[in-house]
Amino acid sequence: MEKPLHSSPIEFDSTESFARTEADQKIETQPRWKLWRAGMTLLALIVITLSAHWNLGLGTFSAFGWGPLRIACPLGVAQVIAATQTFIPYLAIAALATVVLTMIFGRVFCGWFCPGRWIFNRGPRASKQPWGARGWIQTGILAGVIGVAYIFHNPLFCIICPVGSICRGALAVGTGESILPSIGWLSALVGTEWLSGRSWCRDLCPVGALYSRISALNPFIKPKANPAKCHPCNACVNNCPETLALAKSPDLSTCTKCFACVSACPRDAVEIRADKVIDFIGNK
Amino acid sequence: MNPSKFTRREFLALVGGVTALSVTGLVLHPQSISAEVRPPGALAPNELFRAACLRCGKCVSACPHQTIRQNNERLPYIDGINGWCFFCMDCGIACPTGALRPVDPHSTKLGTAIIDRARCLAWTHLECHACYDQCVKLKQAITLDAQKRPLVDLKRCNGCGACVTVCPQSNLEGRSKEFGKAVALVAD
Ligand code: SF4
Ligand code: SF4
Ligand code: SF4
Ligand code: SF4
């Protein structure tokens, strides 16, 4: 039987014991965000698989919905419109619905729905830190993806997209096909991530980059370090998949609302601020 | 806690092995002869379809007969291996981009069935007319010649793939279902 670390009277250290006790209490009071997120991703995958198995036609993360009620991946739609060089109104509306949802909830797709998050996403553990001009480089990758679609008349990124590859796997399970092609594409991407020494989700993924751009318009769900409680210890930045240091009030557009910072902070200093929502309602 | 018998090294070797196998499979797996046969109502020509298809797989998840498969580019195609097309147009209704759209089921032609006489059981002296029996119920595009060997009427065939579904050949020679059938759909 292992004993709790701080139960021994010999190694007693008042500050450390204090911190641990608070952390211990936190575990009881905080929702277990990681579990909820994993559950949500799993649920989404099960819905995709069963919808294919029972031919409900709900679709995948690229395009999801029933009948005319559809949401669609904005990057896919942008590529298709660039590739066909035709504006497709009902497709654009489906992408707009996703944009509106992202404006309300932020980049939740990455934190809560994308299965890629559990496969890539080395975050702060990547051997290279984010690029200094990350914003510009990601805009460049995004423009490149859409430009390539335009030039070759083919939404080429969709073919290797991690989200799409995983959805293909889910469809394959639902319709009794082989999942090996999905594993093949995904392995190629994991290899790219490791060889580049970077984090796929933080530095490379164009889908995530586009959601971040849209999420810049989201005024609501924002984790903030309460300065009264926060003594910068880097627990947040070491756990944040986007390497955001909350003590330095960073630009939160890349935040995936995973709340790893909330779970990691030993002083309970991270708060999810909703004051804008309250202002918004109160000012009416 | 009882430590797992599976060591970290073995686990990594397993993951690496599956990965290497999948990548090799992806590179070496031959493309199906039917990879360009699209579900009904597909935009033509193929280049336009490629540009318009989001690779979302909504058509795959909508098809009630699991007829539609995805090729390595994740484009939908129909080869009749899992089932044939009933021209119900569920895929065209589901497609969010208009790459597939509902069309008149009676005037649609997906592709054409071709019979590989070197492997067809009837053409290599065993008696078989599974495709004929099936097609008679649907399109009457297959006829039997004097020796009871099947012939496809290229004009009548609408490429539904039912003959491929019922062809028993792959089961006899131990070939993969995908590449062992004696009849296959090809794009027009
Ligand atoms: S960055 Fe890309 S792979 Fe990562 S969670 Fe977001 S969409 Fe998925
Ligand atoms: S028309 Fe119906 S049966 Fe044919 S491929 Fe489309 S969904 Fe499947
Ligand atoms: S539903 Fe349409 S866009 Fe989606 S994979 Fe099928 S053909 Fe392509
Ligand atoms: S030969 Fe008959 S069964 Fe085969 S694809 Fe043509 S119409 Fe369908």
Burial of A105 (0-12, 13-18, 19+ CB in 10 A): middle
Smallest-distance ligand from the CA of A102: 1
Position A72 scores a pLDDT of 95
Q: Do the domains at B32-94 and B112-186 have one common CATH topology?
A: yes
What's the pLDDT tens digit per position in A37-53? 999 999 999 999 999 99
Distance (angstroms) between ligand 3 centre and the Cα of B49 equals 9
Comparison of pLDDT for A20 and B14, the residue scoring more: B14
- Which ligand 2 atom lies nearest to the CA of residue B62? 7
Other CB atoms within 10 Å distance of the CB of residue A244: 25
The dihedral region occupied by A272, where left means phi > 0, alpha psi between -120 and 50, and beta the remainder, is beta
Please answer yes or no on whether A83 and B25 come within 8 Å at the CB atom: no
Q: Do B60 and A77 touch (CB under 8 A)?
A: no
Mean pLDDT of B142-167: 93
A69 φ, ψ (degrees, to nearest 5): -85, 100
Ligand 2 atom 2, closest CA: B88
pTM for the full predicted model:
0.84
- The second-level CATH assignment, the architecture, of A16-30+221-282 is 2-Layer Sandwich (3.30)
pLDDT digits (tens, 9 = 90+) for B66-122: 999 998 889 999 999 999 999 999 999 999 999 999 999 998 999 999 999 988 999
Option in B52, B58, B82 nearest A63 (CB): B58
Contacts of B115 (CB under 8 A, 6+ apart): B123, B131, B150, B151, B152, B182, B183
**Binding site membership of B70 for ligand 3 (Cβ less than 6 Å):** no
Task: Name the residue of chain B whose CA is nearest to A168's CA.
Answer: B57
Contact B66 A175 (CB under 8 A): yes
Q: What residue ranges do the domains of chain A occupy? A: 16-30+221-282, 35-215
> Contact B32/B79 with Cβ under 8 angstroms?
yes
Give the mean pLDDT of chain A: 85
A52 neighbors B60 (Cβ within 8 angstroms): yes
Buried b / exposed e over B138-171, threshold 16 CB at 10 Å, is ebebbeeeeeebbebeeeebbbbbbbbbbbebbe
Among the partner residues B25, B58, B73, nearest to A57 by beta-carbon distance? B58
pLDDT at site A284: 44
pLDDT value at position A277?
A: 61
pLDDT of residue A12: 43
Work out which ligand 2 atom sits closest to the CA atom of B84.
Answer: 3
**What fold characterizes domain B32-94?**
Alpha-Beta Plaits (3.30.70)
Both tokens of B126, joined, read 């065993």
Q: Indicate if the pLDDT at residue A20 is higher than 70.
A: no
Q: What is the pLDDT of residues B21-48, one digit of tens each?
A: 777 777 777 788 899 999 999 998 999 9
Is the pLDDT at B169 greater than 70? The verdict is yes
Closest residue by Cα to residue A268 from A30, A33, A37, A6: A30
CB B70 within 8 A of CB A176: no
**Cα distance between residue B142 and residue B123, in whole Å:** 14
Question: By C-alpha distance, which of A197, A195, A205, A114 is closest to A157?
Answer: A205
CATH no. of B112-186:
3.30.70.20
* Beta-carbon separation of B96 and A70 below 8 A: yes
| Alpha-helix residue ranges (DSSP H) falling in B54-143 | 58-62, 90-94, 130-138
Distance CA B59, CA B65 (A): 11
Enumerate the residues of chain A whose CB falls inside 8 A of the CB of residue B21. 180
Pick from A280, A225, A282, A232: nearest CA to A252: A225
Q: Find the ligand nearest to B63 CA.
A: 2
Q: Does A88 touch chain B (CB under 8 A)?
A: yes
Mean pLDDT over the full length of chain B: 88
Size of interface A-B (CB pairs under 8 A): 135
Considering only CB atoms, B54 lies closest to which of A55, A62, A177, namely A62
Domain boundaries, chain B: 32-94, 112-186
CA distance B128 to B148: 8
Ligand 1 centroid – CA A271 distance (Å):
24
A73 neighbourhood in chain B, CB within 8 Å? 54, 56
